[in-house]
Amino acid sequence: MATGQLFSRTTQALFYNYKQLPIQRMLDFDFLCGRETPSVAGIINPGAEGFQKLFFGQEEIAIPVHSTIEAACTAHPTADVFINFASFRSAAASSMAALKQPTIRVVAIIAEGVPMSDTKQLIAYARSNKKVVIGPATVGGIQAGAFKIGDTAGTIDNIVQCKLYRPGSVGFVSKSGGMSNEMYNTIARVTDGIYEGIAIGGDVFPGSTLSDHILRFNNIPQVKMMVVLGELGGRDEYSLVEALKQGKVNKPVVAWVCGTCARLFKSEVQFGHAGAKSGGEMESAQGKNQALRDAGAIVPTSYEAFEAMIKETFDKLVEQGKITPLKEVMPPQIPEDLNSAIKSGKVRAPTHIISTISDDRGEEPCYAGVPMSSIVERGYGVGDVISLLWFKRSLPRYCTHFIEICIMLCADHGPCVSGAHNTIVTARAGKDLVSSLVSGLLTIGPRFGGAIDDAARYFKDAYDRGLTPYEFVEGMKKKGIRVPGIGHRIKRGDNRDKRVELLQRFARTHFPSVKYMEYAIQVETYTLSKANNLVLNVDGAIGSLFLDLLAGSGMFSKQEIDEIVEIGYLNGLFVLARSIGLIGHTFDQKRLKQPLYRHPWEDVLYTK
Amino acid sequence: MRGLMNKLVSRSLSVAGKWQQQQLRRLNIHEYQGADLMNKYGINVPKGVAVSTIDEVKEAVKSAFPNENELVVKSQILAGGRGLGTFQNGFKGGVHIVKADQVEDIAGKMLGQILVTKQTGPQGKVVGKVYLCEKLSLVNEMYFAITLDRKTAGPLIIACSKGGTSIEDLAEKYPDMIIKVPVDVFKGITDEDAARVVDGLAPKVADRNDSIEQVKKLYKLFCERDCTLLEINPLAETSSNQLVAADAKLNFDDNAAFRQKEIFALRDPSQEDPREVAAAKADLNYIGLDGEIGCMVNGAGLAMATMDIIKFHGGTPANFLDVGGNASEGQVVEAFKILTSDDKVKAILVNIFGGIMKCDVIASGIVNAAKQVALKVPVVVRLEGTNVDQGKRILKESGMTLITAEDLDDAAEKAVKAASK
């Protein structure tokens, strides 16, 4: 056991088992105290390496993460405190490993429920190697203005209120971490505050004892008086009684042992802390209070008189000139976390993303304001979902049905078209689903499947301007633009595309108006007169029919229609539809275990 | 009772002792379970059979004790004072020595009945099993214990050549006969250690080497099963020159439950306080007591201080309840449910110091909990710490009839006053 200071303003710790909040609290405390270096040098997270980003004041710092205790100790030879946040199952093993490191002097064990036989080994090892174990089952400890273990003293507000950002003159030790918070508050009220406070933990056999720390405080010149809060059960307080009797402590000790109520109960009761069990007169709170009083400690008659006793003792020391009142400093303000500041309404921050089509914040996700459950309950189809997410409105059933037909018709067109071919080649190269899918999708463009938007744009423009098919087609020709939506590599005037026929039949039956379609047919009639393969293809059919859908449904303003055509919504239909086929081709190739594709030489013209 | 039993019979194991009160998450095992465990480790114990029906009694007497004239019949409950206890059916005594042909009759009066002893409280405890044991004749009684020692930071074996009375009595009467042998926590027990213990015990008739082996086996059990105390009193010698663990106390380290599954599976919930079982489920640290002021506090230390102050003002706490430093709203609700289900509770005192938790979070937890649980008794709330003003405002604006208190002292005073109305 060390005999004097455990910590200083330059003490650095290694933190075992990454926990963001306690580390951030330690760093915030550092900032509050004006420390130049963060009190956490490194983090040990078994099996992980790298860095953790945390705030040190206003700046972010990267604290190294090591996968083993040995590596961390080698990397940070000056870090001599080991803060162990391991679970009760593994705390003993990791603590022992830390104690065995020559660079580690102090090990604080937070876990509650470490088996006693394991703790015994830790104590025996620490004792014979002059190291200090704080805990198990503790929040840790704090040296005001210098160093803080984990969650000790709670929130920053509490630390500020208890003036723990600068040293006072009182050494405090208790078993309970919760009570330490209460006592830090009390001590700050009636004295110049804490110099150092340690919670030794509630276990039957704590790694270091009340008297260990009192004797240490006695050797620290800045500590002018000590406050001890004990509790019933165990005999720990008697080692303090002995030390007092032997005159080893020459500073005033104000002490109280909690649990005087235990006498009320006939049976033995264990109060939360494993060690807080009444067992005979010696271990009772009354017995210990009396023994401490007899040994010369200042012991009140009840807990509520404790505060007054502390004040009285402190005031006397001031009177005697042993304590000179210190000048108060204002600690810096810890920058508030953005999230909590926004929550409390203190700041506002611009958002970086805006979304109008869906919302996943409530009980269930909504598509354009329609909750998922109604989509299912009302028997909506994919077309309805598309109309909600793409057009932000519920379109009439014939419209959504038309969208579904488009998707069904465009879902695939055999393995030879460029998209499917690319997907097949990629899948056979052993690539994953997404790679195979996108390599197919990437071929979609002006020459493959991407003509719907252009078809719609040009047909609309020509129709709206009242151009005759002749004027339209010849005008395009003059500009050197092929009429999109017209022409097919295989289909002919006497061998129409079945898909086009299906779409047109559906529209004639269900659409209130098919003026754009009629115009497209007139254009086709003209182009067919020029060449037999200049048929209205599926792009042209969908493009023109979509114009009818937008204009005829009465659900869109003219402006909206222009925008839809402008942005290029309609290619989306093809991309979505063809994805179904491309995914199918990927699965097909994988299922067939097809080897890497290699194009045959014979099929290539090698030339200069 | 001890004296009486001493003369009449050799006691066999009484794993249930006075130190075994209902305590939260503290494992108690029945006498027969303790004997069985020691037997597994090769430690000599009196022969016994645990039975739970009359048919089993008949069978056990016939097959296990064919040549015994007399047997000891012992009720199995997790409380001490069984010998002097009374059953709620009027039958007196939880432990009887009877002729073999009366065993069935006596066991029948115990099985399924409620035994009330000075330790069970008036509600008593149900006897699910009786333990039938052979009656031994002892020629010498010694004391043996293994405990964890603070000074040597390891296990300590205590032995005395006299036994049968409490260690405190022995220490007073025969201070020179008590020997203490510390065992190195890293090396374990050596032959020399065991020999020193046996020399301290000074058995009269038992073989020395056999005795050394018994000591080593006891130490093995202590270590392997994470015991915190293993006390054999008396460690006896029988007329057949055998060393026998005639009566034993076994305490286990609750912290080791995770690696002592077999031992902790022996837990008998029929012997536990239902309030504590409910609390354990909600991960609350709860101990039922007999007073009239229900307490809800965060932190074990603060809970103790709170109870002290209640007592100082003339009240009695109805419970110890630590909701922990990071209680969720759900836990607060569960805590309120347990407190309000207790008819003895006349007032509830909530004492929270928001160190790690924030008072406003706690306050809204209390308000929401109170909405879910019908509050029939006055509630006194004392909040201190982080965001205390927001917390107080939430309580005020909730419209609940809460009595707020300025400090701990004020709170206790108000709670005591409210409870006495």
Q: Smallest CA–CA separation between B284 and chain A, in Å? A: 10
> Does B22 score more than 50 pLDDT?
no
Q: What is the spatial distance between Cα A214 and Cα B380, in angstroms, rounded to a whole number?
A: 37
* pLDDT tens-digit readout, B77-133: 887 778 888 999 999 999 899 999 999 999 999 999 999 987 777 788 899 999 999
Q: Smallest CA–CA separation between A21 and chain B, in Å? A: 11
Query: At CB < 8 A and 24+ separation, what contacts does B50-55 make?
Result: B50/B76, B50/B129, B50/B130, B50/B131, B50/B132, B51/B107, B51/B129, B51/B130, B51/B131, B51/B132, B52/B111, B52/B128, B52/B129, B52/B130, B53/B111, B54/B104, B54/B107, B54/B108, B54/B111
The verdict on a CB contact (< 8 Å) between A155 and B386 is yes
Mean of the pLDDT values across residues B168-175? 85
* pLDDT tens-digit readout, A95-114: 999 999 999 999 999 998 89
Half-sphere exposure of A196 (CA within 13 A, CB side): 25
Length of chain A: 608
Q: What is the spatial distance between Cα A265 and Cα A197, in angstroms, rounded to a whole number?
A: 32
Question: Would you list the DSSP string of B71-117?
Answer: EEEEEE-SSS--TT-EETTS-B-SEEEEEGGGHHHHHHHHTTPEEE-
Predicted TM-score (pTM) of this structure: 0.71
What pLDDT was estimated at residue A102? 96
Size of interface A-B (CB pairs under 8 A): 182
Report whether B247 belongs to an annotated binding site: yes
What pLDDT was estimated at residue B10? 32
The pLDDT-based confidence of B391 (bands split at 50, 70, 90) is confident
Report whether B74 belongs to an annotated binding site: yes
> Does B356 score more than 60 pLDDT?
yes
Q: What is the spatial distance between Cα B59 and Cα A509, in angstroms, rounded to a whole number?
A: 90
Residues 291-330 of chain A with CB under 8 A from chain B are: 302-304
Classify the C-alpha dihedral B19-B21-B25-B27 as positive or negative: positive
The verdict on a CB contact (< 8 Å) between A261 and B408 is no
The verdict on a CB contact (< 8 Å) between B307 and A261 is yes
Question: Would you list the DSSP string of A302-368?
Answer: SGGGHHHHHHHHHHHHHHTTSSPPPPP-PPPPPPPPHHHHHHTTS-----S----SEE-SSSS-EET
Best of A26, A114, A116 to mutate (most B CBs within 10 Å, chain B): A116
The verdict on a CB contact (< 8 Å) between A274 and B255 is yes
Which two structure tokens, joined as six digits, stand for A370? Answer: 């329609």
> Does B420 score more than 60 pLDDT?
yes
Of the candidates B228, B299, B316, the beta carbon closest to that of A264 is on B316
Q: Tokens 């598509």 identify what position? A: A367
Q: Which residues of chain A have pLDDT under 50?
A: 266-270, 278
- Catalytically active residues of B are 143, 231
> What's the CA angle centered on B275, arms B272 and B279, to 5 degrees?
105
Q: What is the spatial distance between Cα A171 and Cα A221, in angstroms, rounded to a whole number?
A: 11
Q: What is the spatial distance between Cα A576 and Cα A569, in angstroms, rounded to a whole number?
A: 11
Which two structure tokens, joined as six digits, stand for A273? Answer: 């802390």
The DSSP element (H or E) to which B295 belongs, if any, is strand B293-297
Classify the C-alpha dihedral A509-A515-A517-A523 as positive or negative: positive
Q: How far is CA B148 from CA A341, A390, A569, B372, in A?
A: 51, 73, 78, 46
* pLDDT tens-digit readout, B135-164: 888 899 999 999 888 788 889 999 999 987
The verdict on a CB contact (< 8 Å) between B355 and A127 is no
Beta bridge partners of B229: B147, B251
- For A301, nearest residue in chain B (alpha carbons): B312
Q: Smallest CA–CA separation between A343 and chain B, in Å? A: 14
Best of A112, A142, A184, A265 to mutate (most B CBs within 10 Å, chain B): A265
Using a pLDDT cut of 70, give the percent of chain B over it. Answer: 93
The pLDDT-based confidence of B23 (bands split at 50, 70, 90) is very low
A273 tagged catalytic: yes
CB of A453 within 8 Å of a chain B CB? The answer is no
The verdict on a CB contact (< 8 Å) between B226 and A116 is yes
Report whether B128 belongs to an annotated binding site: no
Of the candidates A157, A179, A265, the beta carbon closest to that of B305 is on A179
Of the candidates A115, A124, A261, the beta carbon closest to that of B226 is on A115
Report whether B25 belongs to an annotated binding site: no
User: How remote is the C-alpha of A160 from its chain's centroid?
Assistant: 28
Could you give phi then psi for residue B154, rounded to 5 degrees?
A: -175, 180
Q: Which domains does chain B have, with CATH numbers?
A: 46-134 (3.30.1490.20), 136-263 (3.30.470.20), 272-418 (3.40.50.261)
Closest CA to A217 of A536, A503, A535, A2: A2
Question: Which candidate in A213, A273, A488, A585 is catalytic?
Answer: A273
Q: What is the 3-state secondary structure (H, E, C) of A374-411?
A: HHHHCCCCHHHHHHHHHHCCCCCHHHHHHHHHHHHHHC
- For A22, nearest residue in chain B (alpha carbons): B356
The rounded mean pLDDT for chain B is 84
Beta bridge partners of B286: B321
Q: Tokens 């660079």 identify what position? A: A103
Closest CA to A200 of A94, A85, A109: A109
What pLDDT was estimated at residue A29? 96
What pLDDT was estimated at residue A266? 47
